[in-house]
Copies of this chain bind each other. A is one copy, B any other.
Amino acid sequence: MARKTPITVAYGDGIGPEIMEATLHIIKAAGARIEIEPVEVGEKVYLRGITAGIEPGAWESLRRTRVFLKAPITTPQGGGYKSLNVTTRTMFGLYANVRPCVAYYPFVKTLHPNMDVIIIRENEEDLYTGIEYRQTNDMVESLKLISRPGSEKIVRYAFEYARSHNRKKVTCFMKDNIMKLTDGLFHRVFSEIANEYPDISNETWIVDIGSAKLADTPEAFDVIVLPNLYGDILSDVAAQLAGSVGLAGSANIGDRCAMFEAIHGSAPRRAGQNIANPSGLLLATVMMLVHIDQPDVATLVHNAWLRTLEDGIHTYDIFTEGVSKQKAGTREFAEAVVARLGQEPEMLKPIYYTSAPEHISSEHVTITRAIEKKDLVGVDVFLDWRGGTPDELGETFKQVSGDDLELTMITNRGAKVWPQGMPETFCTDHWRCRFMSPIRGETVTHEQIIALLQRVANASFDFIKTENLYTFNDKIGYSLSQGE
């Protein structure tokens, strides 16, 4: 008998314990060779004052098992609590969120019977690093971070996934007509890596019009790879278009750990009633079984589940008169799947798993990077100021320029307001003053920036943040202002 694979299991909050029990019951009946290490996460842990929502001991278990099967949890409302999912993803480098969005027509209602889309969402970067600052009375800022290794990892994973799952096309969504540097980097990395996979076709869409296309014609897509925020929105849209968010599972794949979960929430109002649909968590568990190299069990479970669906045994959330044959509770649904282990669907396509996509390690990505020549050429100093008009600020602020750093422009919310601003531009109390060397192309030093900040402080201005301006291999590494 094969050695059992230890997995870390969190039963979660709300409907979590019920659907986890149903799921584990099914996979054990199917012969899953696993050893469960239960850990506590979620609401109770938060309310004990642990803002990350996870006991320190749980990290130890995860370090050991490297596999995390997690039921939905409840994050209490109010300040101070961190998203456990975001924390887990970030701490363990779970860079890829994989969500199959598949239609099960005619057994589950959908307007898109032929939909079969895999959404691969970057999982660590973008606006989800959670770095935010309130800087003035008016203004709050959040940082969107996109890195080259982060982009390389997720794009490469998408192409490897496509290859190992016999998919034909990878599509990239981004918005680099507006975010030329951040989304521009994601786009460039996609194009570079796509070239290494001539057997898989590729295309790119600007996210707004691409999203419209997805909502209208999801069957036109195959694998979609995209940055975190777009992926967050569109994976939920795609799951809904396919049928129900309640049926979708997801995998979070990292270098040293992987987490599997349903995409729906903990639904506290449905808890304890034996009515919740375990399918989302079950399909996530099927992905886990593939990941821990038990494709035989994954195949058994997935096909038995498809057959149960086909046989019209449906939980309340997908129950439809005329289509469904029996309204099942959580436990009864699980028993129905167990009873069908070994059977295959007759109308829906059966699934045969072989192996997981090749693992993409960070190390592999890191060594491909070339280090570019970097030069400091200026600084943006941001101010909190309510003292008057942009022209008044410009005149006052020119005084602090000094011989070696020249005030070249002032913007408010990205719009140039000095020199030659438009009187119509509405100004908040959040100003950006750009300083560069008076000699075109000349580099500046950190000491010059420090001396500038000293002059700004001496003039009693509240500088709230700075952003250095760099060139990389003599290419400008900062955006121009609107109206520049």
Say yes or no for A457: interface residue by CB 8 A criterion. yes
- Specify which chain B residues have a CB less than 8 angstroms from the CB of A215 in the assembled complex: 215, 237, 240-241
In angstroms, Cα B140 to Cα A388, docked, is: 33
Q: Tell whether, in the assembled complex, residue A177 and residue B83 are in contact, meaning their CB atoms are under 8 Å apart.
A: yes
Q: Which residue of chain B has the shortest Cβ distance to A110 in the bound complex?
A: B216
The answer, among B181, B184, B230, for a CB contact under 8 Å with A133, is B181
- Specify which chain B residues have a CB less than 8 angstroms from the CB of A146 in the assembled complex: 139-142
- Specify which chain B residues have a CB less than 8 angstroms from the CB of A178 in the assembled complex: 83, 86, 127-128, 130
Q: Tell whether, in the assembled complex, residue B484 and residue A179 are in contact, meaning their CB atoms are under 8 Å apart.
A: no
The answer, among B91, B138, B232, B236, for a CB contact under 8 Å with A147, is B138
Min CB gap A57→B, angstroms: 14
Min CB gap A76→B, angstroms: 11
Say yes or no for A339: interface residue by CB 8 A criterion. no
Min CB gap A345→B, angstroms: 25
In angstroms, Cα B195 to Cα A316, docked, is: 36
Size range of the chain A interface in the assembly: 35 or more
Q: Which residues of chain A in 120-161 are interfacial with respect to chain B, using CB atoms and an 8 Å cutoff?
A: 124-125, 127-150
- Which of A111, A134, A469 gathers most chain B CB within 10 Å? A134
Q: Tell whether, in the assembled complex, residue B141 and residue A482 are in contact, meaning their CB atoms are under 8 Å apart.
A: no
Q: Tell whether, in the assembled complex, residue A446 and residue B422 are in contact, meaning their CB atoms are under 8 Å apart.
A: no
Q: Tell whether, in the assembled complex, residue A413 and residue B125 are in contact, meaning their CB atoms are under 8 Å apart.
A: yes
Q: Tell whether, in the assembled complex, residue A209 and residue B185 are in contact, meaning their CB atoms are under 8 Å apart.
A: no
Binds B, one of A14-22, A286-294, A394-402, A460-468: A460-468
The answer, among B144, B257, B415, for a CB contact under 8 Å with A144, is B144
Report copies per complex.
2
Q: Tell whether, in the assembled complex, residue B211 and residue A369 are in contact, meaning their CB atoms are under 8 Å apart.
A: no
Q: Which residues of chain A in 432-471 are interfacial with respect to chain B, using CB atoms and an 8 Å cutoff?
A: 432, 446-447, 449-450, 453-454, 457, 462-470
- Specify which chain B residues have a CB less than 8 angstroms from the CB of A472 in the assembled complex: 134, 137
Min CB gap A271→B, angstroms: 19
User: 0/1 per residue, A419-431, Cβ < 8 Å to B?
Assistant: 0001011101010
Say yes or no for A170: interface residue by CB 8 A criterion. no
Min CB gap A199→B, angstroms: 28
Binds B, one of A30-38, A297-305, A320-328, A473-481: A473-481
Say yes or no for A10: interface residue by CB 8 A criterion. no
In angstroms, Cα B151 to Cα A166, docked, is: 46
In angstroms, Cα B472 to Cα A424, docked, is: 30
Say yes or no for A317: interface residue by CB 8 A criterion. no
In angstroms, Cα B140 to Cα A182, docked, is: 5
The answer, among B52, B256, B425, B467, for a CB contact under 8 Å with A483, is B52
15 CB < 8 A contacts A-B: A51-B484, A80-B480, A86-B178, A90-B425, A90-B483, A129-B482, A130-B482, A133-B468, A135-B470, A138-B369, A139-B147, A147-B413, A212-B239, A215-B237, A450-B454
